[in-house]
Structure 1
Amino acid sequence: MKKDLEILISKYLRHELEAAEQEELEVLLEHPENLQEFNSQVELEFLLQKDKKEFHAVQGYSKIEKNLGSEKSLNWKIWLKYAAILVLLMAMTFFLNEQTTVTAIPETNVVYIEEGNGNIKILEMEGEKQITNKKGEVIATKIANKIIYKELPEATELEYNTITVPYGSLFQIVLSDGTEVELNAGTEFSYPVQFINGEDRQVFLKGEGFFKVSTDSLHPFKVNTGDFHISVLGTQFNISAYEDDQISSAVLTEGSIMLNNKNFFQLLHPGEMASITNSEAAITVEKVNIRKHIAWKEGIVIFQNETFEKITKTLERTYNVKIENKVPELKQEVFTATFVDEDIEQILALFSKSRPFKYKINAGKVTIEKK
């Protein structure tokens, strides 16, 4: 029995559980000694995935427990769900740093927020909830997949929150200055809970986001990514800067923005896209179809002369799956397609008609093989 439990926990942490195995694990975890063993393995996984970064699983669980309400304990099924989210969020960061394949996060109905003081909050996408600060003051309201922050003019302390949007989900934030930010799947976004009078408005993005910046001539708005920095006063633009993509880009829909990449500056006008290849200073500018680059906000996926290798990355994020392509020659095949409401299986079926291959989908993993 103990050996079976160890095997199931190991497969659970690797996101490889079959449906029947998931049910078997749930039954086993009804026994306190098995639940204790499970918690121990999850704690160990936290430490391994975070490497040397200071984060302890027990402390993290304690913070989650406090933020979920006044109950002194969670039932094991809820803990199972939240443990999966946290372990795989840690794994996502770890694997990105190691430049290996990212494992998709299985839960898409929650977002993970790390506050400036280290507290962790997990918010359900559904429903409405008020968010308070350490003084008990209401600073924001969450309605479905959107958080709206209030402006507190008396704020003097700059405190950043970091939100991580899981694969398969979209999320929106209205910052305290009224700036609207729409975040794509697999995105990490750090932002001030309150902007401070007299200081620039600075945010940090890893992933993709569409910004509608509130105009404030006295306080420039700056977006920082791993490759470039953008400065604006008030405008609308899209940024794509996923860490595992070779190219980062910014597309301007309204107004103007200034890009700075390693002290190489570029002014962008509406309808233009600036692209930067990782580790290079040069900025390439071209006219583009804006619709293609912002359709994701409406759940529409547009591919225009893109390689299958790049397409699979987008599909992983959008549909919360992990794709293993065992057909090397397929990687550089080029496709043009638009998908509005198709699911991952329908999309793969359409691609396989154009370039024959077979595929199987099992517990969030897609395997593509020669036909």
Structure 2
Amino acid sequence: MTKTKDKIRLQELAHKYLQGNLTKKEKNEVDKWFSQTNEEPLEVSDLYARDEEEHKQIIFNRIKEEIGTKRSRVFALWKGIAAAVFVIFAIGLGMWYFKGNNEPVIQMAKVSGNDIAPGNNQATLTLANGKTILLSSVVNEKLLKEAGAEVQKNSKGELVYKQLVPAESSELEYHTLTTSRGEQYQVILPDDSHVWLNSASSIKFPVNFASSKERRVFITGEAYFEVAKDKIKPFRVVSDSQLVTVYGTHFNINSYKDEAGTRTTLLEGSVDVNGTLLKPKQQAINEDGGIKVIPVNVEDVVAWKNGYFRFKAETLESIMRKVSRWYNVDVEFQSESLKSIEFGGIMTKYMNVSMVLKKLELTGEASFELKGKTIIVKNRK
């Protein structure tokens, strides 16, 4: 039987396949798996689907699209993906979860109470003069022009800063982009660096980098960076008790105060974390005044940015912190022992919270009740 970690990886690839986001390397990875395995089916994420028929239709539409536009590359995928259609719901909608013994548990889940929709792209922009602007899904709107910068929203809903000729004053003016629980947002800084801001987070940045010797920004919560290269002006990120220096790279910083330390994860390039250099696929854990470096699966770390939850031997307490931020809910545990239960799996985060809780209940380890804006985690009877 395919190992649990391999199944989780293949579920992720199936998820990306339906979105049309597989890279060439990932296509080859799927091709290789299907060429070696033809007896064990792969479950495909339900991805926004409300029911089984809609889920099947999404898959078939995606296959038809591949056949019509990329005929030469689709046939290796066809066999496995088409076969998967008939077993998608063998173990609950769109998801396999595994307990410590790596065996799936089939169980009917029950969630009482109301339902809560997933978070969305929304944030608040605070200007240098203290004025605030609520940012929603409106696009192609010129928001403002001040302090040597022009601010717009593009067709993707991203906040885009265009650096203009700096004003005579050398004093830097800062804007702050803030997300509450249930919100996320993206901003392209004046130097063309791209920042994804997770829920309950903020980034403070100069509206113009032209007059400064460095590109220094300040964050709280969690953010993913794709930094534009500039050999003259280093890019620096200040978070809780930490300074990260880069020259052009991709990395993620998790600095929530309710998490254990600040975690900086490098995807590509190189960064300096309080004097410690990281290599790709390494994470620096800054806790109790020291830095510990560990190897990590970067796809687990940035799953939030790519639109899904991805858990691998993760405690229920940690999982529920993520659920709390994304759905803007509070969480209560009936007993302390429930917090240490470990889960593994992936699922889209664009579903109502009741579906997330039902998938977690498939393990048979805990039950959930939703009362207003509070999730109560209970011992399984």
Structure-2-length-normalised TM-score: 0.64
Selected match of 1:316 from 318, 321, 324: 324
Q: Could you give the per-residue CA deviations for residues 232-263 of structure 1, whole angstroms, max 9, x where no partner exists?
A: 11111111111221221111111110011xxx
Selected match of 2:203 from 173, 186, 189: 189
Count how many residue pairs are aligned between Structure 1 and Structure 2: 261
Identify the residue that residue 246 of structure 1 maps to in structure 2: 260
Does residue 1:200 correspond to 2:214, yes or no? Answer: yes
Does residue 1:129 correspond to 2:146, yes or no? Answer: no
Shift of 1:113: 1.6
Residue aligned with 2:303, SS: helix
Residue aligned with 1:345, SS: helix
- 8 Å contact kept, 2:149–2:164: no
Identify the residue that residue 39 of structure 1 maps to in structure 2: none
Residue aligned with 1:117, SS: coil
Distance in 1, matches of 2:238 and 2:300, equals 23
Distance in 1, matches of 2:122 and 2:263, equals 27
Identify the residue that residue 142 of structure 1 maps to in structure 2: 153
Distance in 2, matches of 1:363 and 1:337, equals 27
Distance in 2, matches of 1:293 and 1:176, equals 26
Cα RMSD between the aligned structures? Answer: 2.3
- Larger RCO, structures 1/2 (Cα 8 Å, 6+ apart): 2
What is the 5 A alignment of 1:19-168?
108=120, 110-134=122-146, 139-143=150-154, 145-155=157-167, 156-168=170-182
- 8 Å contact kept, 1:109–1:126: no
Q: Could you give the per-residue CA deviations for residues 72-126 of structure 1, whole angstroms, max 9, x where no partner exists?
A: xxxxxxxxxxxxxxxxxxxxxxxxxxxxxxxx9x985631122121112212223
Selected match of 1:305 from 309, 313, 318: 313
Distance in 2, matches of 1:307 and 1:266, equals 28
Q: More helix per residue: 1 or 2? A: 1
Identify the residue that residue 281 of structure 2 maps to in structure 1: 271
Runs of 4+ in 1 over 3 A off after TM superposition: 106-110, 355-358
Identify the residue that residue 352 of structure 1 maps to in structure 2: 361
Structure 2 counterpart of 1:274, which letter?
A
Structure-1-length-normalised TM-score: 0.65
Structure 2 counterpart of 1:289, which letter?
N
Identify the residue that residue 49 of structure 1 maps to in structure 2: none
Shift of 1:352: 2.2
Shift of 1:204: 0.5
Identify the residue that residue 65 of structure 2 maps to in structure 1: none
Structure 1 counterpart of 2:182, which letter?
G
Identify the residue that residue 46 of structure 2 maps to in structure 1: none
Calculate percent identity across the aligned residue pairs: 30
Q: Which consecutive unaligned segments of at least 5 residues does structure 2 have?
A: 1-115
Structure 1 counterpart of 2:280, which letter?
P
Q: Which consecutive unaligned segments of at least 5 residues does structure 1 have?
A: 1-103
Structure 2 counterpart of 1:329, which letter?
S
Q: Could you give the per-residue CA deviations for residues 287-336 of structure 1, whole angstroms, max 9, x where no partner exists?
A: 21111111211211111111111111011112222222223210111111
